[in-house]
Amino acid sequence: MALDALDQIVANTERLTAAPTAQAIHQARVGVRRLRSALSAFRDVIVDPRAETIAADLKDLASGLAPARDLDVFLAGAWERAIRAGQVDLAGAGPRLAAARAAAYRQAAATGRRAPRLLKGVRAWIDTAVDTRIGARPAEAWGAEALDKGLRRLGKHGPHSSPLKREQRHRLRIRAKRLRYLAEAFVPMFDDHPKRADRFMEALKDLSDRLGDLNDIAIAERLCGELGAPAALIEAEARREARLIAAAREAFDALGDARVFWPPGT
């Protein structure tokens, strides 16, 4: 799981060094999140003290790519919707947006150049970081336990009967994303119920997507303030927000109704 995520990071940071693209930035960040999720899920069996340094380096890498990714999401989402609607004058914010994006892409390229230093030794570290005493326990047992724990944590941060406020949505989004990466890695291991796995993964993806859309609105609001975009743009996004909160609640309930595809309580 860790090596696959590392390969994704390396391949896409190399592309950033050559010529940053929205896709390379996005995929590099996904790789970082996947690797961080693996370290978090199995931290109980990681005995190497360098784990904290590795985690800090990965966080630094993600931070270097975040401004470019946020602007790409804003451009493809709120900004594009406002242009299509033709209801707001975006001319004033256009130059500031272009300058901010150019600066963010320069930062992304610099992050790509720093990546080899940050990732140096990570591959070798992955091979030696796990406590060999876990060898007596089947990998299936560790996987089921990690998935159970991830699902419980997700439920803990769920909407339930309370309002789905932004801080709560942020925690829920992170938990859903971590569980999704973990579940994707273990689907091939637990293949006794493929249809159940498909339904569970579909429900989890739907929840992640709805929460991601809500996070994009929060990012758009922040960028509009920084770039001086018209208030009408945020007002339009606020109307979408109410609909997406309702959709996120429905997605959370649907995931709760989906049966797990791994043996619970292993």
Residue with tokens 């790789």: 31
pLDDT digit string, tens, across residues 243-256: 999 999 999 999 99
Fold (topology level) of 137-266: CHAD domain (1.40.20)
Statement: residue 104 has pLDDT above 70: yes
SS3 state of residue 134: helix
Burial of residue 258, with CB atoms counted within 10 A of its CB: 0-12 exposed, 13-18 middle, 19 or more buried: middle
| Confidence at residue 112, expressed as pLDDT on a 0 to 100 scale | 94
- Let me know: does 159 contact 168? Beta carbons within 8 Å: yes
Q: Residue ranges of the domains in the chain? A: 1-136, 137-266
Instruction: Give pTM, 2 decimals.
Output: 0.88
Residue 96's pLDDT band (boundaries 50, 70, 90)? confident
